[in-house]
A and B are shown apart, each in its own frame.
Chain A
Amino acid sequence: MSATPAPAILDVEHLTIRFGGLLAIDDLSFTAKAGEITALIGPNGAGKTTAFNCITGFYKPDVGRMTFHHPSGASHLLERMDGFRIARAGVVRSFQNIRLFPAMSVAENLMVAQHVALQKASLFSVAGFLRLPSYLKAERDAHDKVRYWLAETGLAREADTLAGSLPYGSQRRLEIARAMCADPSLLCLDEPAAGLNPSESLALNQLLLKIRNEHRISILLIEHDMSVVMQISDHIHVLEQGRLIASGTPAEIRSNPDVIRAYLGVEDEVELELASGESV
């Protein structure tokens, strides 16, 4: 990292959300810096996915402010925006339980992700319907983008396959490719390594590092797989029962006694796991 501190891309302040009597997130504040991979970790039920749902507009928080600083300089208050407007502003997410368009082909999935730009180019379907050159050019560019991200995620041979018939690991990668086609500035990934085998996890690490280093896109990550979290995260925030209990670099988190006590509960095993950076 450079000497000057990186500017924040996402500021979450005093985020609180309650479901009936359950305080799912309690006064959570954290920052994700531009150009970094920030991880949210914590035991099951700690409120990580709930925090994600607040950031991406699927839940409205009871209290709190979430400011997204677009690299162009514009700022967006996410708690006031509809989910689809948050996505248009540049915060695009993936889902813990994969949500592809299963009956559509892989390439079509990635074309849908470029809907906003293409719809504009098609002048609300008029230019598209008449097949004007301006639209055809936009369509060709969109196809190129599809090809690029299919190649990056190792799906180039599957362009015309139905998304629903892909094997599990490929579906996970397709979801990341689809999110990238939607032109994010902040990519939010909800457990992208869930269910992947060690070699697939390794490939995922490389993909995420490439997205950060070459495409300069910030990543916010929820992950249980320590081999992913510890190796690629620049910064880690640890949640327990809706509260932030620790923040720091992977090295700091690894040696934090609160984290070792809270995370998974069994001290020796977790200590071992955190120290070695391997998944169980």
Chain B
Amino acid sequence: MSATHPARVDFVALARDAGAAALVAALLAFPLLGFELDASARGITLNVRLLWVLYAAAVVFVGRFSFALVLRSFGAQLSALASRGGGALSRLLSPTHLSPVNTRYIAGVAMIAFALVLPFLGADRNLIDKATLILIYVMLGWGLNIVVGLAGLLDLGYVAFYAVGAYSYAILSTTFGLSFWVCLPLAGLLAGLFGIALGFPVLRLRGDYLAIVTLGFGEIIREIIINWQPVTGGPNGITGIARPSFFGLEMLPVATNGGTTFADFFNIPFSPDQRVIFLYYLIFVLALATNFFTLRIRRLPIGRAWEALREDEIACRSLGLNPTMVKLSAFAIGASFAGFAGSFFAARQNFISPESFTFIESAIILAIVVLGGMGSQIGIVLAAVLLVGLPEWFRDLAEFRMVAFGAAMVLIMVWRPQGLLSHREPTLRLGGGRPT
């Protein structure tokens, strides 16, 4: 295709390009789709499905060819359309007649109100459970946002602190019989200490080097949990973790050792839904506290120091900021929120095992922060709903669930490479002329 005739389309080049894409698709599809395990009464047999590989290659060829064709023919119109579409979300949250602060405030209040009334909208137990799961990830995303979004320290082992929090509560509860409300701050404190323990050796590292060390740290914690059998129960995990109580009222059908149950106290019939809703509100409050804390500390000297460290560590040093303290505080505070979330997770599940704390969890939490727009609190909520919610909604697609999920991720990153909401609100406005 020559530059002077942009309208003419070179079909041979398009076909070659689509052919290359189809080849890659076929290579990928061969191990992924080419084999099928068939478990029947006679035992397990392996079926080879070469036709499926061909189908996949054909679909990719046609898709790539038509995509490129459309792009070359209507490229300019399409990109204009895409940018209009891309701006729609930002405009939705910042229409011209409202200041960005106001719209964000309104959006936040609307989200909180929606979350508050959700259990009374006729939502079934399953949906509340999913919402609870999403809120756990919102809280983890907000916690990791302090480390990654504000301080700019790429942490791939965040799940380690989540695990420390969960196991702290599980062990303290099963061996010493301490209640959830006593263990919650302890779990946060312990996770914070682990954050500092990780922080010390990585003080000099940045970017990809830091990512690798934190990844290793996450794996070390998981290996310790698997192998320290007498304390952590090894691969079998810990069972029979006590459920949190509602101001001393137990969320159980029958009271244990002389306590009172929630249902008895309010003189209502017991229903397991009560516990599900209680847990939902509990994580809702914990997550809101995380958000409140982050919003407030961002405007304090330490919060500004985190962001300055992300921007330029050498300049920080030249202004008298101690980078060691700034980094360690970010690691410690970020980790303690994971600790709180972890102890809630243990209390909700009743059972924990190392399988809940694999690297993929860290990756998902990091993806939530990045997709949300690195530092945007509301963006993280949207990203958590998408990343945790989407795989649930795609359940009908059976084995293609993760393919659809991956495609959705790619589309979002093409559409908004800077994250869903990437606008950074300054921590103070002095006014006096040109705005940001």
Interface residues of A (CB under 8 A from B): 56-58, 82-85, 87-88, 92-93, 95, 99-105, 107-108, 111-116, 118-119, 122, 124-125, 128-129, 143, 146-147, 150, 156-162, 178-179, 182
Question: Which residue of chain B lies nearest to A143 when distances are taken between CB atoms in the complex?
Answer: B430
A56, B434: Cβ atoms under 8 Å? no
Q: In whole Å, how far is A75's beta carbon from the nearest beta carbon of chain B? A: 18
> How long is the Cα–Cα vector from A6 to B424 in the complex, in angstroms?
48
Q: In whole Å, how far is B387's beta carbon from the nearest beta carbon of chain A? A: 25
Give 12 A-B contacts (CB < 8 Å), ordered by A residue: A83-B318, A87-B320, A102-B311, A105-B426, A108-B304, A112-B305, A115-B320, A119-B302, A122-B300, A159-B431, A160-B433, A162-B436
> How long is the Cα–Cα vector from A167 to B200 in the complex, in angstroms?
39
> How long is the Cα–Cα vector from A207 to B296 in the complex, in angstroms?
36
> How long is the Cα–Cα vector from A124 to B436 in the complex, in angstroms?
30
Q: In whole Å, how far is B147's beta carbon from the nearest beta carbon of chain A? A: 17
B interface residues, tally (CB under 8 Å): 33
Q: In whole Å, how far is B46's beta carbon from the nearest beta carbon of chain A? A: 54
A112, B316: Cβ atoms under 8 Å? yes
> How long is the Cα–Cα vector from A160 to B101 in the complex, in angstroms?
14
Contact of A157 (CB < 8 Å), options: B311, B432, B436: B432
- With A87-B320, A111-B428, A179-B319 known, 16 other A-B pairs at CB within 8 A are A58-B314, A84-B316, A84-B318, A92-B318, A92-B320, A100-B315, A101-B307, A101-B312, A108-B304, A112-B316, A115-B305, A119-B302, A150-B430, A156-B432, A160-B429, A160-B434
> How long is the Cα–Cα vector from A105 to B435 in the complex, in angstroms?
10
- A84/B315 contact (C-beta < 8 A), A105-B436, A143-B430 known: no
A112, B300: Cβ atoms under 8 Å? no
> How long is the Cα–Cα vector from A178 to B311 in the complex, in angstroms?
15
B296, A93: Cβ atoms under 8 Å? no
> How long is the Cα–Cα vector from A112 to B434 in the complex, in angstroms?
21
A125, B297: Cβ atoms under 8 Å? yes
Interface residues of B, dominant DSSP: loop
> How long is the Cα–Cα vector from A119 to B301 in the complex, in angstroms?
6
Q: In whole Å, how far is B148's beta carbon from the nearest beta carbon of chain A? A: 14
Question: Which residue of chain B lies nearest to A107 when distances are taken between CB atoms in the complex?
Answer: B430
Q: Does B21 contact A (CB under 8 A)?
A: no
B315, A182: Cβ atoms under 8 Å? no
A95, B315: Cβ atoms under 8 Å? yes
B304, A112: Cβ atoms under 8 Å? yes
B297, A112: Cβ atoms under 8 Å? no
Contact of B426 (CB < 8 Å), options: A92, A116, A160, A182: A160
Across-interface contacts of B432 in A (CB, < 8 A): 147, 150, 156-157, 159-160
> How long is the Cα–Cα vector from A101 to B296 in the complex, in angstroms?
21
A112, B319: Cβ atoms under 8 Å? yes
> How long is the Cα–Cα vector from A165 to B322 in the complex, in angstroms?
27
A99, B312: Cβ atoms under 8 Å? yes
Q: Does B321 contact A (CB under 8 A)?
A: yes
Across-interface contacts of B428 in A (CB, < 8 A): 105, 107-108, 111, 143
A160, B431: Cβ atoms under 8 Å? yes
